[in-house]
Amino acid sequence: MNEGILLVLSAPSGCGKTTILRQVMAELPGLAFSVSHTTRQPRPGEISGRDYHFVSMEQFKAIRDRQPSGFLEWAEVHGNRYGTSRQEVESRLAAGEDVILDIDVQGAEQVRRNAQPVTVFIAPPSLEELERRLRGRGTESEESVRRRLANAAKEMQAAPAYTYLIINDQLDQAVLELKSVIIAERCRRRGRA
C-alpha cells in the first residue's frame, strides 16, 4: 500500500478556500480533511470536530507541549492559535489516505520543514475583491477587516513558495483546478510506486 499524499492548502481569509475545499471533497473520493485545533470561538454554524476542534488556550498548550510534539504545525493568527495533530495526519497517511491540511502560510512553512507536502496557495483576484468578500460576510468588525486585509497582503507574498497557485476569480474554475492538482499528484505518485 502506498502512503497517502499530504496536501497543504493556504489562502488569505475570505478567499473562498473553505468553499472550494468542500466542493472538491464532495466531488473527489479518497480525501481526508485534517481538522485543526483552534482557540478561537466558533462562527455561526461551525461544529466542533467537523470544522475545528475548539479548545481552550490551556488545552492547546498541553497538546503543543507533548513529546514528541503533539502538533505537526501550529501558529498564532489574528490573535488565535491553530494547530494540526501530528498523530492524526501520520496515521491517515500511513493508511494510504490523501490528507488535506487547511492552514496558514506560517503553518505551511513548518510542514515544509518537517515533510514533503504538495502545497497549494489560493489567492483572490485582487485585494479590492477580497475586501468586498470580507465585508459581505457580515461577521467582521471594521478593525477585523483592516487587519485581515493587511495580513492578506503579507500572506500573498508567500505564494511563490507554493507548488501551485490558484486564483479564485470564478468558483467553478478554482474547484476544477484544485481537483486537477490532486489528480495529477495521484498520477505522479502512481508513477513512482
Q: In this structure, are residues 143 and 33 in contact, taking their beta carbons and an 8 Å threshold?
A: no
Task: Name the pTM for this structure.
Answer: 0.84
Query: pLDDT (tens digit, 0 to 9) for every residue of the chain, 193 residues total?
Result: 588 999 999 999 888 898 999 999 999 999 999 999 999 999 999 999 998 999 999 999 999 998 777 899 998 877 899 999 898 899 999 999 999 998 889 889 999 998 899 999 999 998 888 888 888 877 778 888 888 888 888 999 999 999 999 999 999 999 999 999 999 999 988 766 5
Structural contact between residues 51 and 102, judged by C-beta atoms closer than 8 angstroms: no
- Tell me the domains of the chain and their CATH numbers: 6-192 (3.40.50.300)
Q: Which of 43, 62, 66 lies closest to 54 in space, CA to CA?
A: 43
Cell of 152: 492578506
Nearest to 76 by CA among 151, 153, 6: 151
Furthest-apart CA atoms within the chain: distance in Å: 51
How many Cα atoms within 13 Å fall on the side-chain side of residue 192? 9
Residues 6+ apart with CB under 8 A from 45: none
**Distance, CA of 169 to CA of 174 (rounded, Å):** 7
